[in-house]
Amino acid sequence: MLVTDLLVIRPFHETDYSDLYEYLSIEETYRFEPGNPVSMDEAKKYALERSNSINWWAVTLKSDIKHKLIGHISLFQTDLKVFRTWEIGYIFNPDYHNQGYATEACQAVFDHTFKELNAHRIVAHCSPENRASWRVLEKCGMTREGLLRKNTYFRIDDTGEPIWLDSFEYAILADDER
């Protein structure tokens, strides 16, 4: 568990499903993310899966005695373990956007990843159109390393062909100033 000035960042609980459903069930969440709005049953499944994984962090407000989930962070080590690189991602409930919570949560996870997991590098990807997301990454001290052209897709067109998207790649190193 990580505790910041405003947040408690903890492992998922199976009981987080209704809070998870609150923001994963709306179309807006998937504007820059893969997937589609989820049902309550799918939210229950996701909460259970994430409660059994070390790669998912639930973000809650420190001041909320009910520990309402306001967002989540994913943190996965890349395939070549020898490079000590981790990739971070996040989704927050739109009701909690533009309040600094994503930045504070990511900074805490960065500190943990560098200190406790001995990371050399943390990377993140986001859509060039998702200004809010890349602003969070920049506020956290990440450097935009480049534009990856048509490197991913989340949807297909009517003919079954991928709708390719660009993404920015960001990174921060253990020895970067934070």
Domain boundaries, the chain: 2-173
- The H-assigned helical ranges of the chain are 17-24, 40-51, 101-116, 131-139
C-alpha span between 116 and 5 (Å, rounded): 20
CATH 2.40.110.10: does it fit domain 2-173? Answer: no
User: Per-residue confidence at 35, pLDDT binned at 50, 70, 90?
Assistant: confident
Is 72 within 8 Å of 57 (Cβ atoms)? yes
Largest Cα–Cα separation, the chain: 50
Q: Would you say the pTM of this structure is higher than 0.95? A: no
In the beta sheet, which residues pair with residue 156?
Answer: 162
123: how many CB neighbours lie within 10 A of its CB? 16
Does 156 or 118 have the greater pLDDT score?
118
**What b/e sequence results for 80-113 when a residue is b if at least 16 CB atoms lie within 10 Å of its CB, and e otherwise?**
eeeebbbbbbbbbbeebeeeebbebbbbbbbeeb
Q: What is the pLDDT of residues 39-64, one digit of tens each?
A: 999 999 999 999 999 999 999 999 88
Q: Which residues contact 43 (CB under 8 A, 6 or more apart)?
A: 17, 18, 20, 21, 24, 25
Radius of gyration of the chain (CA): 16
pLDDT > 90? residue 134? yes
- For residue 178, the model assigns a pLDDT of 66
C-alpha span between 77 and 89 (Å, rounded): 12
- For residue 57, the model assigns a pLDDT of 96
Taking alpha carbons only, the member of 88, 168, 174 closest to residue 127 is: 168
